[in-house]
Amino acid sequence: MPNIVVENLYHSYGAKPALQAIDLIIRPGFNVILGPNGAGKSTLFSLLTGILPAQKGQVRYDQQDIKTQRRSIMHRLGVVFQQPTLDLNLSVQQNLTYFGALHGITKVSVMRQCEPLLQSFGLAERLSDSTRSLNQGHRRRLEIIRALIHQPQFLLLDEATVGLDADTRQLVLNTLRDYVTVNDVTLLWTTHLMDEVQSNDALTLLHKGKIQAQGLTTDLLVQAQCNSVFDWYCSLTQTVEAM
């Protein structure tokens, strides 16, 4: 099973710890890391992608350590960063083919793979448009399509819906949930937006650099005797604040 295993992960910026003793198993399906701004989500994301080297602890994809087997992992990892990463000097198609080529995939294969996603994301007619001319929502859709070009087993998306309107958010979430179900991939979704969490998601609450809770959303709500993710989130974060 394509799992991501995080063991005793620690990272600090100077003397200030950003993440402490993070232990996580991310299994196939839709996994959500929920946390307020400054909780350490982006730091965790950077460690998971190898953008930041782990100061302590390990990140393994299917038993492969990101420190030593990065190349092999990158072949199977699709990433959407919070910060936009498109090349605005290239067209929509050029951005896709450039990314595909960086994974050794030819233009023909890239376009064949992208076609259905371009259709469902409403970008099929805009292939030759400059990326600069796309609005924020379309740029984000393009980044998501791009992350799927090499048919990754693992998908990491960091606050991928920030700044998008409600319709686009819903479209992105629904498309990705379908994709996960159909392709049996392991998707990690970091967010601070509670309405993006569904009852059957594997949910982790990250707050102040520590994992406060993890499990299936419905189980977590039952355990905490809460009716909604919002109540559950407030009760846990307030408990932490009070400590």
What are the residues binding another protein (CB under 8 A)? 49-53, 70-72, 74-75, 77, 79, 81, 83-90, 94, 97-99, 101-106
Q: Which is nearer to another protein, 67 or 119 (CB)?
A: 67
Report the alpha-carbon distance of residue 231 to residue 192 in Å, rounded. 14
Q: How far is the CB of 193 from another protein (least distance, A)?
A: 21
Helix (H) or strand (E) holding 110: helix 107-120
Q: How far is the CB of 75 from another protein (least distance, A)?
A: 5
Q: Which is nearer to another protein, 162 or 234 (CB)?
A: 162
| Among candidate residues 22, 15, 16, the one with its CA nearest the CA of residue 54 | 22
Q: How far is the CB of 211 from another protein (least distance, A)?
A: 24
Report the alpha-carbon distance of residue 95 to residue 151 in Å, rounded. 17
Torsion of CA 125, 161, 157, 34, to 10 degrees: -160
Q: Which is nearer to another protein, 30 or 99 (CB)?
A: 99
Q: Which is nearer to another protein, 96 or 173 (CB)?
A: 96
Q: How far is the CB of 180 from another protein (least distance, A)?
A: 20
Residue 84 per-residue DSSP state? -
State how far the alpha carbon of 70 is from the alpha carbons of 1, 51, 66, 112, 190, in Å.
19, 11, 5, 27, 22
Q: How far is the CB of 91 from another protein (least distance, A)?
A: 9
Q: Which is nearer to another protein, 6 or 156 (CB)?
A: 156
